[in-house]
Structure 1
Amino acid sequence: MRYPAAETAEKHQRILDEAAKLFRERGFAGVSVSELMEATGLTHGPFYNHFASKQELMEASIEHASSKFLTELEATPPSERGKAEYIATYLSTMHRDAPGAGCIIASLGPECSREAGLRRALTAHVRNLISKFAGHFPWKSKRRARSQAIHDVAAMVGAIVLARGVTDDELSEEILNEVRRHLG
């Protein structure tokens, strides 16, 4: 049975949205195709009408999450205040506690480093993020904008990874606050 193109596109989008969320929450191995399809309200069978494999979905979900994340960055005012607010939001307990809605690098970076296709998708995201971060916000030196953007992005991602990884809430918040203070 053929479905209208709009309905097929909507289902495809739903699968990508849910996959991007669940993969960031539980990792690639922590989510089965049948679980994912159940979470979208679809049966397992139609999955292969949208993706040839789970691997293809994993790569597509990185690209999908990347697009949304970069769109949010571009919606931030391109000012010192906008940059400070972006950094503060990134380095917040809300972001720390919601990996499914957050940064794909902090959630999936280590897993992506082990798979060539995932590394390619993550590399494209990191390149775009650094480029947009350097080009979108004002910097003290235009010549050093890229260098400073790499530094800031690496510090932000590292802080979220550390803050999520420790069991001490006080230490977790201290990590976020200190990195935010140094970048702000």
Structure 2
Amino acid sequence: MARYGAEHKLETRRRIITAASRRLKQDGIDGSGIAAVMSDASLTNGAFYAHFGSKDDLVANVVADQLEQQRVAISALPADRDSLEGYIRGYLSTEHRDNPPDGCPTAALLSEIGRCADVVKDAYSAGAQSIVQEIAAHLPTLASDAVRMQAAWGLFSILVTSLQLSRAIADPEVSAEVLDAGINNALRVLDTLN
């Protein structure tokens, strides 16, 4: 009986995390069972426990992975106002609003993460803080570190809550108004630092 190598195990783990990230953001943590995730990854349920100790372990890994991808995307932006504005406009776009499985894990899962096991909350806390630190690093250096961190938390909060609210509003016109208001409020925060 042939054993799979370490590279195959890592590839399989990546497949599970990728499938789980889409499923969790689409159906929520409570609405996503292991069987559905493994089916999405084209794997058997039995393979799950070779990679994760529990569903909480999987969710923590998905959250950490997704937030790290978001941090890397922000890190790649040039450190100027135009780049941040472009990020804000992209985040608060109708395309992002209408595509939760490929979007921000915070906007899709935040209300559930607060009720999760500590392992999930710890993974989320570390990831969210790294994103906010990355946003702060892209803000004007004329402001103090404390002011930039406060502004970064404010921007992150505006983006997440505006996207969540826009997804909850049934009327497309009102939903678009929520996105526009979020953009305007985020840009006001940026303008206070110039």
1:129-157 per-residue CA deviation (whole Å, 9 max, x = no partner) reads: 11110013336623411111111111111
Where do 1:1-184 residues align within 5 Å? 1-115=2-116, 116-138=118-140, 141-143=143-145, 144-184=147-187
Amino acid at match of 2:186: L
- TM-score, normalised on structure 2? 0.90
Q: 1:77 deviation in Å?
A: 1.8
User: 2:60 is matched by which residue type in structure 1?
Assistant: E
**Residues of 1 paired with 2:155 and 2:65: CA distance?**
23
Which amino acid in structure 1 is aligned with residue 122 of structure 2? R
Residues 89 and 183 of structure 2 are in contact (CA less than 8 Å); yes or no, is this contact kept in structure 1?
Answer: yes
Q: Secondary structure at the match of 1:120?
A: helix
Q: 2-side partners of 1:108 and 1:94: how far apart?
A: 18
- Root mean square deviation, CA, Å: 1.4
Q: With the length of structure 1 as denominator, give the TM-score of the two structures.
A: 0.94
Q: What amino acid does structure 2 have at the position aligned with 1:169?
A: P
Q: Percent identity?
A: 28
Q: Is the 8 A contact 2:136 2:152 kept in 1?
A: yes
Cα contact 2:158–2:185 (8 A) shared by 1: no
Tell whether the 8 Å contact from 2:63 to 2:124 is kept in structure 1 after alignment.
Answer: yes
Gaps of 5+ in 1: none
What residue ranges of structure 2 are gaps of 5+ in the alignment? 188-194
Q: 1:139 to 1:99 in 2, by over 3 A?
A: farther
